[in-house]
Structure 1
Amino acid sequence: MNTKAFSIALLTVLIWGSSFAAIRVGLKGGYSAGHLILIRYLIASLLFAVYALLPGVKFRLPRKEDLLKILILGWIGISIYHIGVTFGERTVSAGTAGMLIGSGPIFTSLLAMFVLKERLGKWGWIGLIIGFVGIFIITLGSSGDSFKISKEAFFILVAAFATSVMFVYQKSLYSRYTSMELTAYFTWAGTLPFFIFFPGIFHDIQHATLEASFSAIYIGIFPTAIGYVTWAIALAAGKASSVSSMLYLEPIVAIVVAWFWIHEWPNTISIIGGIIAISGVVVVNLKGRERAAVSENTPSSTI
């Protein structure tokens, strides 16, 4: 990986990793989960609309035959994902949420076997087993000392699975659209269901803390919009597989940022589970696949 690709990919991972703490700040500062999601995606949708209308930007509209697929993938990969993550973080710590989402490629690999007919070798199966053991331990640790899978941890697991579905099924669209175009389409499609949270939004805006409002603006601009732009630049500047390996750092960034910003640290059980889960992801992606990775040109996690 050259210096430019490494630097931009690292910046992207730092931006995406910081979003988990920012969500917690927004939730603790007076925003409901639904209102936080809606504000975030109204900002991102507006930014992508401005980009699409800029003079000199060649931004194509989706083909009619692709509209339904784009809508469904946007609802799954954006709407369900962000509802799962944001509602999950009402009780699950930012670092724990980051580790659960960071293990998402385990679901992607499993789906790729059935949908894209990718084959996993012996090490691939070992990696999957290790990954799912780690995920199970993280979810147990997320409930503190109660050793049960909490409802909020389940929400985040659903989010990880939802984004994996989008990564697998969007692959065919990359032969017809650029990553920026697809990201904009998915953002606009995924924003539509969030309008069910509109009632009462102005009350939250008026009564939320200043830090919470800045956090809502931050996640709308940086992780949701700018992060995808810098990621596309990094992928264009370097080898996709090498750039994608930087995503292994995202759960670590989530933990460290949460520690410095909101003084929050996952419990020991969750950290152990996170180490095991990410180890499984590494084994699958580096040693387990007999064909090219599913998300070679797309992020293996999203924020």
Structure 2
Amino acid sequence: MDERRDGILFLILAVTWGTAFVAIKAGLEALPPVLFAALRYDVAAVLMVGYAAVTSDYWLPRTRADWLTLLVEGTLLIALYNALLFVGQQGVTSGVAAILIGASPILSTGFARLALPSERLAPMGMVGLAVGFLGVALVARPTPSALLGGSALPSVLVFLAAAAVALGSVLVQRLDGGISSEGMVAWSTALGAVLLHGISAGVVGESLASAHLTSRSLFAILYLAVFASALGYVVYFELLARVGAIELNLVSYAAPVVAALAGWLVLGERLGWLEIVGFCCIFAGFLLLKRRAATEKLAPLVARFRPG
């Protein structure tokens, strides 16, 4: 029963986070990108602060570590990540955006090694990093001509969004604040919303006057706030406590599949063969980097289905 419940929760998370890329793409047709992200987190912050207040005893930041963690999460994991992602996704499909964001677990490993130089990667780990970055290059294709012509810029921005998440995740692990996960996500969401409004105010064309609040764009805001943010993070932290980070990281590779399918069904988007090969390389790089932990996690499952 527990395994079935974990499987259902994993599926819910993959679907909500995968379809989020489609909702972003749909909303960008009528809304300025950074303002769109800010409005999403305005709604999400109200929901998540209320949820944290009801479900957690330690939901207000108290210590220096709490405040530093809040600052890192609100700045890197919410504001910078979403500003880069929403702007970048104006020029790439939902599936490509999800694939590039899927590189964040690989980038996290790289940042963690830079933070702790004494913990060197084994040769196979270096191969994993190289394979993962090869996958990113296949998806983004940042050739000199593409960079000079601006056609690769959206992919580069989405990749930088993945880097912001990866760096933020590494820094948060080292701060080790005592506030509950629910409280931290709630307040970092609120801070992120404020910062996104600040960024939006400083960008030309980012005003409410340029926004078209159609039924489709309102649905996109609410879907992202309620399902991808509020519900998504509740499911995420429950799964994190139940199955651990290694298995949960696999959602980064299930979400692109959902995003590609939903983008094709809803928006008529298609992935090219280079994007598919790139996705496979990124996933293979992740498995090579996490091969020991993945083997330990998967060994009981393999033994269960082994003949005899």
Above 0.5 in TM-score?
yes
1:256 is displaced (CA, Å) by 1.1
Structure 1 equivalent of residue 93 of structure 2: 93
1:200 is displaced (CA, Å) by 6.4
Structure 2 equivalent of residue 276 of structure 1: 281
- DSSP-derived class of the 1:61 partner: coil
Residues 52, 249 of structure 1: alpha-carbon distance in 2 compared, 3 angstrom cutoff = closer
TM-score (norm 2): 0.84
Structure 1: gaps spanning 5 or more residues: 293-303
Q: 1:225 aligns with which of 214, 217, 230?
A: 230
Alignment of 1:208 with 2:213, yes or no, is yes
RMSD: 2.6
Superimposed CA distance per residue, residues 69-111 of structure 1 (whole angstroms, 9 cap, x where no aligned partner)? 4213321121110011100011111110110000111211111
The answer to whether the Cα contact below 8 Å between 1:77 and 1:166 also exists between their aligned partners in 2 is yes
Cα distance in 2 for partners of 1:122, 1:47 equals 45
TM-score (norm 1): 0.85
Q: How does 1:279-294 map to 2 (within 5 A)?
A: 279-287=284-292
Alignment of 1:183 with 2:185, yes or no, is yes
Alignment of 1:127 with 2:128, yes or no, is yes
Structure 1 equivalent of residue 79 of structure 2: 79
Structure 2 equivalent of residue 171 of structure 1: 173
Cα distance in 1 for partners of 2:98, 2:13 equals 15
Superimposed CA distance per residue, residues 223-248 of structure 1 (whole angstroms, 9 cap, x where no aligned partner)? 12210001111223334433333432
**When the two structures are aligned, how many residues end up with a matched partner?**
285
The answer to whether the Cα contact below 8 Å between 1:100 and 1:138 also exists between their aligned partners in 2 is yes
The answer to whether the Cα contact below 8 Å between 2:59 and 2:184 also exists between their aligned partners in 1 is no
1:119 is displaced (CA, Å) by 3.8
Larger Rg: 2
Structure 2: gaps spanning 5 or more residues: 298-308
1:182 is displaced (CA, Å) by 2.0
1:286 is displaced (CA, Å) by 2.2
Cα distance in 2 for partners of 1:210, 1:183 equals 28
Identity rate, percent: 26
Cα distance in 2 for partners of 1:121, 1:18 equals 36
Cα distance in 2 for partners of 1:80, 1:89 equals 14
Cα distance in 2 for partners of 1:73, 1:216 equals 21
Cα distance in 1 for partners of 2:219, 2:73 equals 29
1:136 is displaced (CA, Å) by 0.9
Cα distance in 1 for partners of 2:134, 2:292 equals 18
